[in-house]
Structure 1
Amino acid sequence: MLRVKICGIKNEDELKLALTAGADAVGFITEVPLETPRRITLERARRLVRKVPIFVESVLVIMPTSPEEVYQMAERARPGAIQIHTPPAPELLEKIQDLRRENGIKIVQTIGIGEKTPLEIHGEIERISRYIDAVLLDTERPGGGGGTGRTHDWSMSREIVEETKLPVILAGGLNHENVRDAVRTVRPYGVDTASGVEVNGVKEKYRLRAFIINAKECG
């Protein structure tokens, strides 16, 4: 069964909407060094994580500069998973393995889809595969990471899904109108959206429900 993550949850109202709509995972974009209306403080993330039901995954989306920063944020917020939203850094990932071994926190690595070929991206994933539990493919932004709200070439993502043994989550410009085609084309483990279920920067009930229904119909 396809998994659906609703990212960029900012408050309890949006969290309730996502949970009621049937989200399998919810993401909290926490203290990232980017201008985004979805950025929240670590303290708010901590409070929201505590309200996530046991069978729904809470995901802390961060852009750390050191392993110590990852540990500090994980200890404070206690999420079920951490999404590293910076370019893959094997040394950093290696140094946070205790989070997986001792705390059971899953590690998801964002991989930007842009100028690199599927073969290059697959090699990148192979180099870090032992340190992570899943990859999230997002449209690349200058300087790395994703969160552009734009789609990319889904045929590239399909090639990566076919080549990697890790669960692959598809992101990048997905909304209730295009998610069916995205799932049929890529066949990912899961899909992820933030702005695609918003109206004027706020999560919207109809778009949330339609996104999740349309995604799961095909997955």
Structure 2
Amino acid sequence: MTKIKICGLTRREDIEAVNRWLPEYVGFVFARSRRQVTPEQAALLKAGLDARVQAVGVFVNAPVASIAELCYTGVIDVVQLHGDESEAYIKELKEQINCPVIKAVRVRNAEQVLQAEQLSCDMLLLDTYQKDEYGGSGKTFDYALVPDLQKRFWLAGGLENSNLARAIEQCRPYGVDLSSGVETDGLKDEDKIRQVIKTVRSLTG
């Protein structure tokens, strides 16, 4: 079954919505973004989150110690690295935490993705390349650039209810990551969250 991550939660209402529809994962963005939350805000949101839903922390070139602290305190269950983090950085982080690590790749070509697969992260996240941005473009990319991968990977970038079926059928990802595609006027929309969860589960069981 394709997993679902609803990323960029910022409000108690967002938590209440995901608790009703139970995606497998949600994302808290700690990097600079209009969806950025502080560790204190994330802790409050996590406290209200259904235990069946795992929280992913999204970081861009953050100090290893600050990520480790969020793992130790149980604010996040999974780490997503969305910056320029190297193999040395990932190894250092994994020595300090027990949480799975996802490394995001802004896809430009298949060779680049295959190189990223050699990193010691647990999973990849394939996102749209946009110059001078680390993510959150809200745009899809050419899925023909996705090579056959042995490592589990997430698919991100401009996903919404209307294009999920094609994306899943073409790429067969471990999971799909949605943010702007489940928003209306910049805020999470419970009806859109419900629709995408219903769509993904109807496609993949």
Same fold (TM over 0.5): yes
- Taking the aligned partners of 1:51 and 1:156, their CA distance within structure 2 comes to 39
From 31, 39, 59, the counterpart of 1:62: 59
From 120, 123, 126, the counterpart of 1:137: 126
- Taking the aligned partners of 2:21 and 2:51, their CA distance within structure 1 comes to 16
Tell me the residue number matched to 1:210: 195
Per-residue deviation, residues 144-203 of structure 1 (Å, max 9, x unmatched): 63211110001223x2xx2x2221110000001111111111110100000100000111
Cα-Cα RMSD: 1.7
1:119 correspondence with 2:102? no
- Taking the aligned partners of 1:140 and 1:75, their CA distance within structure 2 comes to 32
1:39 correspondence with 2:39? no
> As a proportion of its length, which structure holds more helix?
1
- Taking the aligned partners of 1:105 and 1:143, their CA distance within structure 2 comes to 29
Deviation of residue 21 (structure 1)?
Answer: 2.0
User: Mapping of 1:18-167 within 5 angstroms?
Assistant: 18-30=18-30, 32-33=31-32, 36-76=33-73, 78-100=75-97, 104-114=98-108, 117-126=109-118, 128=119, 131-143=120-132, 145-157=134-146, 159=147, 162=148, 164-167=149-152
Report the TM-score when normalising by structure 1. Answer: 0.86
Deviating more after overlay: 4-13 vs 46-55:
46-55
Structure 1 segments, 4+ long, off by >6 Å, are none
Opposite residue 134 of structure 1, the aligned amino acid is M
- Taking the aligned partners of 2:160 and 2:55, their CA distance within structure 1 comes to 21
Answer whether contact 2:105 2:127 (CA < 8 A) is retained: yes
1:16–1:87 distance in 2 versus 1, CA, 3 Å? same
- Taking the aligned partners of 2:76 and 2:7, their CA distance within structure 1 comes to 14
User: Mapping of 1:151-190 within 5 angstroms?
Assistant: 151-157=140-146, 159=147, 162=148, 164-190=149-175
Percent identity of the aligned residues? 24
1:67–1:98 distance in 2 versus 1, CA, 3 Å? same
Answer whether contact 2:29 2:58 (CA < 8 A) is retained: yes
User: Mapping of 1:183-198 within 5 angstroms?
Assistant: 183-198=168-183
Answer whether contact 2:104 2:124 (CA < 8 A) is retained: yes
